[in-house]
Amino acid sequence: MILILSFLMTDARVMAQSRGIFMPYSSVGFGLGTSNYYGDMAPYRRPIASTFTMMRWSVAGNYTRHFTPRLAARASFTYARIAGDDYVMNRGSKHQSNIFFARNLHFRNDLKEFSVQGIFKLTPDNRSYDRRPQFGAYLFAGIALTAHNPKALDSLDNGTWVKLQPLGTEGQGNAGYKDKYSLITFAIPVGVGVRYKINSRFDISAELGFRKTFTDYLDDVAGAYADPALFADSPVAAHFANRTQDRVAVRKGADRTEGLQKFVQANYVGTAPDADPYAVMLQNGFGNPGTDRGNSPSLKDNYLIGQIQIHYIIPAQIKCPPLR
């Protein structure tokens, strides 16, 4: 009986292939890779530095259904960490004179992304999963929902990572200011991938996917410095709202004084070479309420995911032809 059933299944597959009928199939995958953030602390005008200076990690799992030789759809969950640091990005002597070195902000954010994506195979499948091409390339695009929660390191509390959104670091939640930003955002993933067939059941792929988001607060930075009077009852919030007077870049534990001396010499004409740069910044209103804290509120924060993935092909069920 087993031999007969095996013969019938094989015969059904041969018949389907001889008629040129594609047999849909499914796959599950797991990926490991990198993540990159672009925003107020990683500007697009410096693409190489923004992509590689503070690269972090990502992991993902997905389910894909292959409907036709060229079209598939997948549901995916990605967990990724992104990070940014004004000091790290601008500590080189070439960049210490810009306002971002003096701003002295940093963050990290663990993203939890659920997405649904459509896949277009540039290299189409053959009629069954076990006869797919050895190499393939594909494009993908879709929609995602991303949960996030930016944090920063508190030098006053033994290196604790503090959630920034509840603090309202730009005055959010107070009269005359915006509401606190949402910790959930939509995103549009688009990208490209290449695939290699290991054997009939396993593929390995490499893909790069850019996420366009609809928030400017993945890094907790977007607008202007708030009135410090708002934080009279919250010294923690006051500390995270304006870190321009911090002598140490917290994440690296590095003294900023020498770099700030270059900053004030370049930006405030007539400053004495031996002047205290922190005092000069205060005298010139750097970080005053209403001055820019973020780069451009109209330019949203985005992120990039690059991964190597392993895929297991779930064999398609073969329907036996009716016996006559």
Q: In this model, does residue 1 exceed pLDDT 80? A: no
Q: Give the pLDDT of residue 207.
A: 98
Question: Residue 215 carries which DSSP code?
Answer: -
Residue 87, pLDDT above cutoff 50: yes
* Percent of the chain with pLDDT strictly greater than 70: 90
CATH fold of 25-314, please?
A: Porin (2.40.160)
- Residue 300 in contact with residue 217, Cβ under 8 Å? no
Q: Is 221 exposed, middle or buried (0-12, 13-18, 19+ CB in 10 A)?
A: buried
* pLDDT tens-digit map of 202-253: 999 999 999 999 999 999 999 999 999 999 999 999 999 999 999 999 999 9
**What's the pLDDT score for residue 323?**
56
Q: How high is the mean pLDDT of the chain?
A: 90
Distance CA 10, CA 200 (A): 16
- The span from the CA of 284 to the CA of 278, in Å, is 10
- What mean pLDDT comes out for the span 163-192? 96
Dist CA 187 CA 215 (whole Å): 9
> Per residue in 50-69, pLDDT tens?
999 999 999 999 999 999 99
Express each pLDDT in 256-304 by its tens digit.
999 999 999 999 988 998 899 999 999 999 999 999 999 876 789 999 9
pLDDT at 3 over 70: no
| pLDDT of amino acid 37 | 97
Average pLDDT over residues 93-97: 86
d(CA 10, CA 16): 10
Q: How confident is the model at residue 320, as a pLDDT?
A: 53
The pLDDT score that the predictor gives to residue 11 is 41
Is the predicted pLDDT of residue 319 greater than 80, yes or no? Answer: no
For residues 131 and 155, the model is more confident at 131
Q: Round to the nearest angstrom and report the end-to-end CA distance of the chain.
A: 18
pLDDT at 93: 81
State residue 156's pLDDT score: 63
